[in-house]
Structure formats: C-alpha cells, structure tokens
Chains A and B, each alone.
Chain A
Amino acid sequence: MSYSIEVVERSGNRLKLLFKGVPLALLNAVRRASIEYVPSMAVDFVVFNNNTSVLHDEIIAHRLGLIPLNSEEALRKYKSPEECAGKSSESSVECYAVLSLHASTKEGEIKTVYSGDLKPVTDPDVRPVYEGIPIVVLGPNQEISLEAYARLGRGVEHIKWSPATVSTVTYSARLTIKEELCTLCGKCVEVCPRNALALENGKIRTYDERCILCRQCVNSCPVEAVVLGFKEDEFYLTIESSGSLKPETIVREAFKIVISKLDKFLSILDSIKAQSGG
C-alpha cells in the first residue's frame, strides 16, 4: 500500500496535513486520540493558603486548571496518569509539578493577577504557556496565596488535559462543472467564500484545494451544473494546539497511542486463540 503525507499549513499552533492513501477510519482514530488520549500537564488541584478576592476558591482553581502548561519536556519526565492514580501529591515528584501564586494589594490599589504570576516551584519546565491570562482582579487590601499541583492527564478525564483545541479530519473536494449545462452566469463564483471558482477564459475554473465544502455554489447554480464530490483516498487532518504541546507532537503521540491500542487488541485476540486451543 502506498501512501503520502504532505504539510499543507504550519503556523503558530496550527498544523494541517494532507494524507493520501491512508484510511479514513485510521485518521479518525488519530483525531480522537489527539483530543482524548494524548497527555499534557494541567493543574489537578489547588491548596489555598489565603484568598480574600471576590472569586471563590473553586472558580480560581477552575481557571488555573484551564491555563495551558508547557508539556513537551513533561511528557518524558513525568509518569503517566494511570501510574499516578491514587498517588499523593506531596510525596510524588515523578507525578506532580508544583506551582505557586502569591499576590496582594495595598490600600487603594487594584491589581490584575495574570497567569505569568503563577510561578513554577519544583520544575522550571512546567510553566504557563501564556503570561497574560487574567486569573483574578484584586481589590484594595486583598490577598491571594496558593500552591497548585499539576500532573499529566488525558482529555478523556477532563478537557483541561486535552492538548488539542481543534482536531478535525475533512474530505478533500473534487469540483466539476458540467460545461454543457453552464450558462456562465457567474452566480457560483459570486457566492463562493473561498474563491475556489473563477470565470477564466470563457469557462468556470475550479481550485479544489481552496474549497471548504460549504455547498453554496451547488445551491446557487440555477441549472445544477456544479457537481461537488470528494476524493476517495485524500483527507486533511487539522490540529490546533492549546499551546501545551506542539501540534506535530500531538499527531506523533496520537499515532503512538492508536498503534499501542491496536497492539493490545491483537494480543487479546492471540490469547483468545490460545485459550480456544487454536
């Protein structure tokens, strides 16, 4: 079986890949694994020493959990969520990274506390990806002081551990214009939001790779001359990362996870076969 993978887009936290000759089912498994199973670091629980701000402890803990933490190094350093289940936080440096937040205001002072104020205590590699996320605003004479315990987790447990904010598999368009029907009225060109159709040299030219499959052209054509189909064995995988992992890391880890699940499945099949004497 021959296949190919092409990088269509790589910018910021986004990665778009074009797979040729790879089954849709496999790509969908990778897409799901990217959201649900690829581990990343996030704050698991918070110990409050003091909180006199207007937000309750629970709300602040929730906000801390949603702040993406750098996880590239952590993937190698820390034990998996399964190995850490039931381990107490204070004892296990193999499972937990500790961060702290201390801020206070004087008389007449109002101050915003940002994710950048959440400082790593045990591991400088595990720190907020973005510095400028407001956590709370302190009024005059208020104080917040806490320790946050972060560990690896998976999106399947809570979405704060999911490294992917977008993970999609989409079809690749095949546009055809029935030239014998087309009157060159230009309606389809007008409605297309992606300039995938153009009136060039007395006919409608199609740009498949720009098409987002919205079907506006099909619906707007008065003579049903636009045919929108899909390429059988070409699919786009698009990953947008929360920032905790690079999108290419997410794809690589997701493939590893799918492969290990398949291996496990095969070994279960083998053991059934052995039991039944085959």
Chain B
Amino acid sequence: MVIIPVRCFTCGAVIGDKWEAFVEGVKLGKDPGKVLDELGVKRYCCRRMFISHLDLIEELVMYSRKV
C-alpha cells in the first residue's frame, strides 16, 4: 500500500501510530514477531497489516508534481 492504513482492515484497531516503531525495531535486527508483541499488537489480523505493508509513499513523493 502507499501509506500505512490508520486502522486494521479486519478489526478496526488503530495500528498507524505503531508503524514507525515497528520499522525501527526491525531495522535494529529484532524479530518482527517480537517487536509486534512489544507493541501490544496481539491479533493476527492486525499483525498482518504490519508484515505485509510496504510504504510506497516515500518513493512516490519524489515523482510528484511541482507546485
């Protein structure tokens, strides 16, 4: 997806605010599952929101229109 969704598609729990902490944790070399545990993301519907997401917006902005 272009940007991390605000909520889990299935249960509606807020996940957007945990995305950056998740990325940081994984970049430090921690196990993604462990990072999600620490963030309190329990249900697998919410967990797949993180592990299946690719933040494309960071690349897209480089090709956006000039103002």
Q: How many residues of B contact A (CB 8 A)?
A: 24
Task: Kindly supply a per-residue 1/0 record for chain A positions 119-140, scoring 1 wherever the CB is within 8 Å of any chain B CB and 0 otherwise.
Answer: 0000000000111111011111
- Interface: A115 (CB within 8 A): yes
Chain A residues near B8 (CB-CB < 8 A)? 165
Q: Assuming A52-B67, A66-B6, is B12 touching A134 (CB within 8 A)?
A: no
Chain A residues near B2 (CB-CB < 8 A)? 54-55
- A63 and B14 CA atoms in complex are apart in Å by 11
Closest to B55 in A: A137
Chain A residues near B12 (CB-CB < 8 A)? 159, 162, 165, 242
Q: Separation in Å of the B7 CB from the closest CB of chain A?
A: 5
Which range holds the interface residue count of chain A?
Answer: 20 to 34
- A4 and B12 CA atoms in complex are apart in Å by 31
* CB pair B11 A166 closer than 8 Å: yes
Contact of A136 among B3, B62, B67 (CB under 8 A): B3
Within 1-44 of B, Cβ neighbours of A (below 8 Å) are at 2-4, 6-8, 11-14, 16-17, 19-20, 40
**Chain B interface residues toward A at CB < 8 A:** 2-4, 6-8, 11-14, 16-17, 19-20, 40, 57-58, 60-62, 64-67
| Interchain residue pairs with CB less than 8 A apart (14) | A54-B2, A54-B60, A55-B3, A66-B7, A130-B17, A132-B16, A133-B17, A134-B20, A141-B67, A142-B61, A165-B8, A165-B13, A242-B14, A243-B14
* CB-CB nearest 3 A-B residue pairs: A139-B61, A133-B16, A132-B17
